[in-house]
Structure 1
């Protein structure tokens, strides 16, 4: 079976520096359409010299350009123009995103691109209300606290939702007056390359630059560059460790939104049908490739058998297939290597004594694309690899519990701590459980809901720092304290001799 390409992408994709195509300097990297496994474009990697050029452009735009000192009113106008640009090009951007990621086109149009546009509106609204501070408690003095942009921001975006997640970083960095160098994943450069090109029409020269390539080459050159003032990264935990290590040598602050192995705790007191819908959505949406997936489903023992059987039956009815078909619920995984890694956990689960409920195999009937059947296993214990490692695919792991204390203990027994889910209609159960969960976000009786005003980030190896309104303001600005006397203070007259 062969699926139609959502759009004919450019034959070659590269960086964009000062609004001009980068010469790259590195190797050619193939870009594949996950639904067919066919190469659809070639990415020119930006080497260290190209990265240096991009950082220098962002530095000039920050040090001598108008952007950092632009009035808030003018900056809001530009952010709104960025939003309008995305909305005017939703279909093209969604199709380019689909071509590189294999995500369902319907979802990309209706959710990802709408969220990308809203990111700019959100930060435009945020800075319109942002205020400084003043202190008058010390007699004779007025002290003010203002915020100023930090400088050049290195923004590194992941492959699982490139436009939606990258624009959160771009909009925040720009809103507070910084300039940027963006590096997408080398797997999924298409839509972000087009978006950066479109935004050149509304942004001053050098404010937003694009470099492309592998993390070991382009990414490493970017995060170690002495001209970079701050780094925001979304991606895998091990890569995050490497970035923070490199950044630490230059004392560059970082925010890291990393991996997850989130517990989805379902009590017998929950509305079982809603919890079932939420569990399916929590693990199978975005083709299962999301750090906040509810990948460990913890079930109270009295409902374990019934719930897992209903989940199995529904999972086997999930529509896997063409990303361009509006009826499709799960498309292909992002790459051949990633598909093979996800499937490797089936044997790992069996080896640890687990039981396969459904799926666990490639969908060869769908051709050469990277499709797998939605998968679920019952783990023998929370120590199993399938319960501890981030699989990052449509792969659910079930575990039973007997008491709320046991559920909390299992949920917290992980190196990660990004989000947790709690399903119960019993308020005392909810109130006793949620404060004890070691995660940065807890969702109660709902699947994924992102409140941009609130901080988002994780405990433990799920990240460092937070994204969100005030959290981004704190990260993308420097605080400046200015003290003025309200009346001339009495000064000691050193060297004036005795009066």
Structure 2
């Protein structure tokens, strides 16, 4: 079994006294690690270490050039260990190894490089409206960030949180999801040797209800960033609000993927498949509601179903695997629970909806497309978070926008059309934090990424991270010696 520490504090790997957390390989259901949960003493030690590092100032007061050098060294260290980290991540999450190597591992290093570049371009403000004064506006780091990452894409999203928090001079304590802690824990071990002062990046492993709760409520926490389910996000945000701690919540999604009748058919088909089936379908930004205009609906549905049927489901280490297992047993049951039964007249399985043949072990679920009659059906309203698409037809553009916006979520949206006027209208009418037009998932880290409604509060990205992880300080300086009124003279 893999040895994984309960915590990494002051660059030291430590073992806690809590109950063991079993970590399961979803491809074969074998326990590959047992991690003693970080107990209360370790959580306290991690938060104290982060606060002490911030107050000491050896990172906070470091020159931007030196911080950039170390952030880039972190990226180099991740790249040097990318093959090892990808293997660990694959065993823990079931995401195909090729997708991790070519995606999440590269993205993790890129996150550190992006923020190294970003902080070199920051600028303050100067106001001179008052004739006798200079007013400077500076940004300073806020202190200690509590970062809670999800199980569906630990490397990419966890590294984004760490890089964005520390780039501006903060310290942090990271808690990986208890279901998928291995790759991210190894990444944090790797970057400790890149020149980070002790205590700048700490990690604790444990359950959200115990370790996560202690971190969120800890008096040293100055900022809280969480990516995960909406239910948990509500609890965290409520706890943060009680203590007036600003928070970012990147939560669930049930995003519409609108295929207009004048779309580039092949591009839209490829994009729809990538939008729902990549990362084993476990992504909050999935285009899980595919809306197809009536004029091309028959042709598009036939092509989509045939391609979904041919997707290679298998061992995530196999080079030809396109979809691996779901992440854990509870989630497998959750996804399987959405398969409509024969009595459900509002939805029909067109392909999938079952455990693929030939898999006696592992949490495998066939790529699935279900045609639904109404957007009010649970397949269109509830987040399944798996390789499971609902397919609906629409007649007019207005109908498409109405269906797309009939959701309690608002994370992303997709629109496919060759008509630029149609695209510009679509991006305006779809209610979501990000709209992808004629493309599947593309991320420019300069731009904010966050949702509206039950998809979250706040955003991550360059300027958004700067606003969240720093606070403004106004400094007023007179140009000349002042002639002040002499009270009591």
TM range (shorter): over 0.9
TM-score (norm. length: structure 1): 0.96
1:358 matched to which residue of 2?
A: 351
Question: How far does residue 434 in structure 1 lie from its aligned partner after superposition?
Answer: 1.3
Task: Tell me how far apart the structure 2 counterparts of residues 121 and 134 of structure 1 sit (CA, whole Å).
Answer: 29
| Alpha-carbon displacement from aligned partner over 1:268-294 (angstroms, at most 9, x marks no partner) | 010111111110010000000000000
Match of 2:160 among 164, 168, 171: 168
2:144 matched to which residue of 1?
A: 152
Structure 1's 349 and 64: CA in aligned 2 closer, same or farther, altered over 3 A?
farther
The 8 Å contact of residues 34 and 370 in structure 1, kept in 2 or not, is answered as yes
2:21 matched to which residue of 1?
A: 29
Unaligned runs of 5+ in 1: 1-8
1:79 matched to which residue of 2?
A: 71
Q: Does 1:104 align with 2:96?
A: yes
Match of 2:130 among 116, 120, 138: 138
Instruction: Provide the secondary structure at the position in 2 that maps to 1:363.
Output: coil
1:310 matched to which residue of 2?
A: 303
Q: Does 1:194 align with 2:186?
A: yes
Task: Tell me how far apart the structure 2 counterparts of residues 11 and 489 of structure 1 sit (CA, whole Å).
Answer: 66
Structure 1's 249 and 45: CA in aligned 2 closer, same or farther, altered over 3 A?
same
Question: How far does residue 47 in structure 1 lie from its aligned partner after superposition?
Answer: 2.5
The 8 Å contact of residues 43 and 186 in structure 1, kept in 2 or not, is answered as no
Task: Tell me how far apart the structure 1 counterparts of residues 64 and 401 of structure 2 sit (CA, whole Å).
Answer: 45
Match of 2:206 among 208, 213, 220: 213
Task: Tell me how far apart the structure 1 counterparts of residues 241 and 266 of structure 2 sit (CA, whole Å).
Answer: 48
1:489 matched to which residue of 2?
A: 482
Question: How far does residue 350 in structure 1 lie from its aligned partner after superposition?
Answer: 5.9
Task: Tell me how far apart the structure 2 counterparts of residues 458 and 451 of structure 1 sit (CA, whole Å).
Answer: 16
The alignment of Structure 1 onto Structure 2 pairs a total of residues equal to 488
Task: Tell me how far apart the structure 1 counterparts of residues 483 and 291 of structure 2 sit (CA, whole Å).
Answer: 68
Instruction: Provide the secondary structure at the position in 1 that maps to 2:358.
Output: helix
| Alpha-carbon displacement from aligned partner over 1:438-496 (angstroms, at most 9, x marks no partner) | 10000000000001011111111111111111110000001100000112233121111
Instruction: Provide the secondary structure at the position in 2 that maps to 1:206.
Output: coil
| Alpha-carbon displacement from aligned partner over 1:179-228 (angstroms, at most 9, x marks no partner) | 01000011111111111111111211111111011110111111011111
TM-score (norm. length: structure 2): 0.98
Task: Tell me how far apart the structure 1 counterparts of residues 344 and 19 of structure 2 sit (CA, whole Å).
Answer: 40
Match of 1:16 among 8, 17, 21: 8
Task: Tell me how far apart the structure 1 counterparts of residues 415 and 398 of structure 2 sit (CA, whole Å).
Answer: 13
| Alpha-carbon displacement from aligned partner over 1:358-409 (angstroms, at most 9, x marks no partner) | 1001125123011111001011210111100111000000111111111001
Match of 2:230 among 225, 228, 237: 237
Q: Which consecutive aligned stretches of 4+ in structure 1 deviate over 4 angstroms post-superposition?
A: none
| Alpha-carbon displacement from aligned partner over 1:119-167 (angstroms, at most 9, x marks no partner) | 0110000011111110011110000011110000001110011011111
Q: Within 5 A, what are the aligned runs for 1:386-397?
A: 386-397=379-390
Task: Tell me how far apart the structure 1 counterparts of residues 4 and 450 of structure 2 sit (CA, whole Å).
Answer: 35
The 8 Å contact of residues 24 and 47 in structure 1, kept in 2 or not, is answered as yes
1:372 matched to which residue of 2?
A: 365
